[in-house]
């Protein structure tokens, strides 16, 4: 599930695109925001689909060796533990995964060389040899092995990263989070899981969806007003000289201060400072912190901060 920070980043990207494109159609902007968020789920499904593909590749390789003109005993009686891994079998038979893949038109059919490379990196590892010879065949051992090889040989594969970057400019930013979702999914597919076990949802609940859409709308609707709030706090800086991303992050924080009664001001401030570390300049965190702190002091003095709920009264 997407965290609130990830939702903020998706809103930030959508607002940036909206303002850069001189767009005035909020409904269209909202549609693009939701499209961008939905693309994250495409990545989640796409990566999950990769794991059963490794099994199919392994089965095909076993069959090829059996068909050799002079097969050796190992070719005729292979160790099939990996291709029969019960966790990967559950994933392969998962109805939700099959349905989502079909609806989203996702497939690895065009990437046989990449599948082969990842498969070989796994089977050539010492970890794979230890697993294949491990006498403990409990489900937990099978599950832990899949999680481990995913982290070491799938999540870190550079050619995979290049493929994702080609398919979506935002997928590289989303990859670390989605990989953690995949690992969590592999953990949830326990021994009791069956073909109807659900996958993780993208959003936790309707509150997260409303938060995202409200933040998008309110920041854009009031962005000129927020310009006028920020300008007096810039001292010797002209608005045009401030990094556009810094201004955008401050506007989103102001929107949360003034329009989201259930979000503590400290949470909003800390979140945008953290986001600035990845999406703006090295000096941005101090600059944004200083401006927001001055604005927050004014808002409190003018009684503009209205927070409600346990632990939120300022």
CA distances in angstroms from 288 to 143, 245, 260, 270, 276, listed in the order given: 44, 10, 19, 10, 8
Model pLDDT for residues 264-293, shown as the tens digit of each residue: 999 999 999 999 999 998 888 999 999 999
Q: Return the pLDDT at 2.
A: 87
Is the confidence at residue 314, as pLDDT, over 50? no
The answer to whether 220 and 18 are in contact (CB under 8 A) is: yes
The answer to whether 252 and 215 are in contact (CB under 8 A) is: yes
Residue 181 φ/ψ, nearest 5 degrees: -65, -40
Q: How confident is the model at residue 307 (pLDDT cuts 50, 70, 90)?
A: confident
What's the whole-number mean pLDDT along residues 24-53? 93
* Cα–Cα dist 37/204, whole Å: 13
* Cα–Cα dist 25/235, whole Å: 34
The answer to whether 247 and 230 are in contact (CB under 8 A) is: yes
What ranges do the domains of the chain cover?
4-188, 222-301
Supply the mean pLDDT for the chain.
92
Q: Return the pLDDT at 239.
A: 63
Look up residue 254 and give its DSSP letter. H
For 222-301, the fitting CATH number among 2.102.10.10, 1.10.940.10, 1.10.3720.10, 3.60.15.10 is 1.10.940.10
Is the confidence at residue 237, as pLDDT, over 70? no
Question: How many CB atoms neighbour CB 271 within 10 A?
Answer: 20
Q: Return the pLDDT at 104.
A: 95
The answer to whether 236 and 260 are in contact (CB under 8 A) is: no
Higher pLDDT, 14 or 313: 14
Work out the angle at residue 219's Cα, subtended by the Cα atoms of residues 11 and 180, and round it to the nearest 5 degrees.
20
Q: Return the pLDDT at 198.
A: 96
* Cα–Cα dist 36/30, whole Å: 10
Q: Where are the beta strands (DSSP E) in 74-164?
A: none
Model pLDDT for residues 153-212, shown as the tens digit of each residue: 999 999 999 999 998 877 888 999 999 999 999 999 999 999 999 999 999 899 999 999
């Amino acid at each position: 599930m997407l965290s609130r920070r990830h939702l903020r980043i998706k809103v930030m990207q959508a607002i940036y695109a909206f303002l850069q494109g001189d767009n005035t159609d909020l409904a269209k902007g909202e549609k693009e925001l939701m499209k961008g968020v939905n693309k994250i789920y495409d990545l989640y499904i796409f990566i999950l689909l990769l794991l059963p593909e490794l099994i199919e590749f392994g089965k095909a390789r076993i069959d090829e060796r059996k068909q050799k003109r002079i097969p050796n005993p190992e070719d005729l009686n292979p160790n099939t533990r990996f291709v029969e891994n019960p966790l990967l079998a559950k994933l392969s038979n998962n109805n939700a995964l099959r349905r989502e893949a079909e609806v989203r038109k996702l497939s690895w059919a065009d990437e046989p060389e990449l599948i082969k490379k990842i498969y070989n990196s796994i089977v050539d590892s010492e970890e794979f040899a230890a697993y294949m010879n491990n006498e403990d065949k409990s489900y937990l051992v099978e599950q832990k092995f899949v999680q481990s090889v995913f982290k070491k040989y799938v999540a870190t594969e550079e050619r995979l990263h290049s493929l994702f970057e080609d398919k979506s400019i935002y997928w590289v930013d989303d990859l670390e989070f989605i990989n953690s979702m995949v690992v969590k999914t592999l953990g949830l597919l326990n021994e009791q899981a069956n073909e109807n076990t659900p996958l993780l949802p993208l959003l936790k609940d309707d509150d997260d969806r409303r938060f995202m859409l409200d933040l998008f709308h309110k920041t854009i609707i009031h962005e000129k007003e927020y310009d006028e709030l920020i300008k007096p706090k810039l001292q010797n800086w002209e608005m045009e000289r401030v990094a556009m991303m810094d201004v955008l992050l401050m506007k989103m924080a102001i929107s949360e201060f003034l329009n989201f009664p259930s979000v503590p001001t400290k949470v909003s401030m800390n979140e945008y400072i953290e986001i600035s570390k990845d999406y703006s300049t090295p000096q941005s965190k101090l600059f944004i912190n200083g401006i927001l702190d001055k604005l927050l002091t004014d808002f409190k003095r003018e009684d503009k901060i209205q927070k409600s709920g346990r632990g939120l009264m300022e």
